[in-house]
Amino acid sequence: MGFFSKHKSFQGQNYSKLKKGCMSRGEKFSDPKFPPHDSSLYFSKQPPGVVTWKRPQEIVDKPQLFIEGVSAKDVTQGQLGNCWYVAACATLAGVKELWHRVIPDYKDQEYGDLHPGIFRFRFWRFGEWLEVVVDDLLPTIDGQLIFSHSREKGEFWCALLEKAYAKLHGSYEALEGGNLSDALVDLTSGVSAHLDLSIGGYTDDFEKRKQLFKMMTKEMDEHALMCCAITPHSHEEAEMRTSVGLVKGHAYGITACRKINIGDTGLFSIFKGAQKVRMMRLKNPWGEREWNGAFSDGSPEWSKVSASERQRLGLTFEDDGEFWMTFEDFLENFTDLSICFLINTKVLSFSKTWHETTFFDAWTIGVRGHNSDRAGGCPNHKDTFLRNPQYRFDIKDETDDVIFQLMQKDAREHKQEGLQNLVIGFHIMKVEENRRYRVHRIHESVATSDYIRTRSIFLREQLKEGRYVIIPTSFKPEETGEFLLRMFASRDPDAKELIKEQPKVPWYSCVKKPVMVTTITVKNANNLEKQTAFGGEADSYCIIKCEGESVRTPVDKKTCNPKWNTTAIFYRTKPEQPITIEVWNNNMLMDGFIGQAEVTAPINPSYVQVELPLFGRRKEKSVEKEGRLVIQVYSDDDLTSI
C-alpha cells in the first residue's frame, strides 16, 4: 500500500507491449478502449462544437510532454467543470517526487522523432495503483484544445493526464463536478480530510486561527496537498464571481503558507502591531480571475514590503491565476478546505512514521445470523447496526494519534447509469481488553465519523491505551457495496476482523463448552498502601485472572487512588470458580504485590458495581490489606449477550 507499491494495468493494457508493437509496425497507437468518438466525451449532451481529434504534431510543430519541468502555473482548465481535478493537479505540481509516481519514466515518454503516440499514467484507486494507457489523440475545436491544457501551447502533459483520468472514469463528462479530496487521493495514495471553515469558529477565535495556520504550514512542509473552495448557496450562484474576484463553487489550489515580515513598514499599524503577517498563495485553475483584495497582484500593500521579502516569496504580478492573500482574508472568504496527508511513504521524509493497516470488505445481505449478513446500517438503527463488519485493534501506547479512512468504490464511472455513492461512515467503541469475538451489545462510544454521500470518510482521533472495535457502515440497512478501511497508527495495532459470534468447541474435543460469559470492569481503587518508607504513592495496575486467562490494566502512576476503567471478558466453563483481581506496583526492577480480591460473579445479566476488600496471597490470604477495589460485574448464560 506504500508509495512504491506494485501497479496493475487498467483494462489489461500493457504499456510496454503496446508500445513495442507500434514501433515494430511503424505506426502510432490508437486506443480501442477509449476511441476518438463523441461517446468518449459526453454521455448526456452534445459537444460544444464540431470536435476533431488531433495529435499534438497536428497542433504545433514541435510538441513536448514538458517544457522546463512541471509547475502549478502550467495547468489551465478548459470547457469542462472539473476544476476539482485541475486544482489538485496544480497543487501536486510542486512535488517532484509525486509527479514521478503519476507520470512514470517521464523522460522516456517525452516526444521525439517517430514517437509512437502512446503514454502511461498512474492513479491510486481503491487500494492499488492503476496504470492507464492512452493515445495522444486529443479533442479540439477550430484547432484548439477544448479541455485542460498548459499555458505553453507546445506542452501537453496536462491534456494527456486529463485524458487518462477521463478514461479511468469512462468519459470526460464523468469528470464534471467532483470532490477535491478524491482527486488528491487518486494522485497520491494519501489520506484526505475536509474542513468546513464556515463552522469552525476560525474568524472569531484568534487561537483557533493560529493553530490552523500552524497545522497547515507543518503539513505543507511535509508535502501535504491542499485545495479550497467557496460553497454556493444555490445552483444559480455556482461559478458566480464575488466582489473580491473569487468564484463560488470553484476549486483553488493552495501552493504556499508563509509568514512575511512587515516590521518598520506602513503595514505595522494596520495589522495591530504584528511583526509578521500570515499569508496564503492560491492558484485558480482557470489561469485568470484572481483575488482583488489586500495583497492581490499589484496592490499597494506590496509596495510597503521590502524588495528582499518580495524576492524571497518569488512574487510576480501576472494574470496567471496565482495570487496571495492574508490568512484572515482566506478564512473570511473560503468555506471549504481539503488537506491530503501523504503518510506511510518511503519517498519523502516525515516527522512521524506510521504503520498502515488495511481491510478490503463489503456490506452484504445474507441469511440472518450468518457471516454473509453484513449490512446493518448506521448506529441510528440499533436493532441491526451490529450486523455490520467489525474490526478490533489495540492502542499500545499511553495515547496515540490514529488516522482512519473509509472508502467505497467510486460510482463516478457509472455516472451515466445514474448510480450514486452510498452515504457512509464508521463508529468506534472501547471494548474489553481481550475481546476476540463479535460485539453483540453497543459498548462505550469513543468516536463517530461524519456520515456523508462521498467516496471516502476521514477521521483523526487521539485514543488511549486499550482495545477498540471499529464498525464501518452505510447509512441505511440493507445497502450493499464494497469498501476499503485504512488505519494509520504509531505502532502495529494488531487489527483483526471479528468473525466468530462466540467460542465454539469441536465435538471431538475433551475441552468443556463454556456455559456463561462474564465481564469484569476494574474501575478504581481507594486508599492503597504507601509503597516506600518515605510514603511514596504507587504506580499501580491490576491483573484479572479467570480459568487460566489473564488480562492486565494500564498503569496509573503516582497515586493511592488509581483509576483504570479496564474491562475483561471471560467465557467460563467453571462458574463456581472465583475470579481473582491482583493489584501490583510497577517498579523498575521487580513489581511489588499490593493486594488481591476475589469475586464469584454468578449469573446476573445486569451490571452490578461492588466494592471489595484487598487481601494478601498464599500464607497471607486471610490478611486484609489497605485499600478497597471497585469493580463492575456482568454475567449471563447467553454467550452472545454482550
The residues assigned a catalytic role are 83, 250, 284
Task: Return d(Cα 151, Cα 76) in angstroms, integer.
Answer: 7
**What order of strands is seen across the sheet that includes strand 52-54?**
52-54, 138-141, 144-145
Does residue 425 sit in helix, strand or coil?
strand
| Look-up of cell digits 487518462 | 164
Task: Return d(Cα 53, Cα 370) in angstroms, integer.
Answer: 54
- CB burial of residue 30 (10 Å; 0-12, 13-18, 19+): middle
Task: Return d(Cα 278, Cα 257) in angstroms, integer.
Answer: 7
Pull the grid cell for residue 264: 518598520
Task: Return d(Cα 510, Cα 573) in angstroms, integer.
Answer: 12
Task: Return d(Cα 122, Cα 132) in angstroms, integer.
Answer: 6
Measured in degrees and rounded to the nearest 5, phi and psi for residue 157 equal: -65, -35
Angle, alpha carbons 181-187-188 (nearest 5°): 90
CA–CA distances in Å: residue 254 to residues 41, 90, 269: 29, 9, 28
Tell me which residue of 144, 127, 28, 129 sits closest to 76, measured CA to CA: 144
Pull the grid cell for residue 622: 486471610
Indicate the helix (H) or strand (E) that contains 196: strand 191-196
Which residues have C-beta within 8 Å of that of residue 484, sequence separation ≥ 6? 126, 127, 358, 359, 360, 406, 407, 408
Which residues have C-beta within 8 Å of that of residue 30, sequence separation ≥ 6? 36, 117, 135, 137
Give the ranges where 155-287 is alpha helix by DSSP (H).
157-169, 180-188, 206-221
Helical axes 157-169 vs 83-92, angle rounded to 10°: 130
Tell me which residue of 425, 413, 418 sits closest to 123, measured CA to CA: 413
Task: Return d(Cα 109, Cα 302) in angstroms, integer.
Answer: 42
Find out whether 433 and 565 touch, Cβ atoms under 8 Å.
no
Each residue of 2-28: b (16+ CB within 10 Å) or e? Answer: ebeeebebbeebebeebbeebeeeeeb
Find out whether 583 and 542 touch, Cβ atoms under 8 Å.
yes
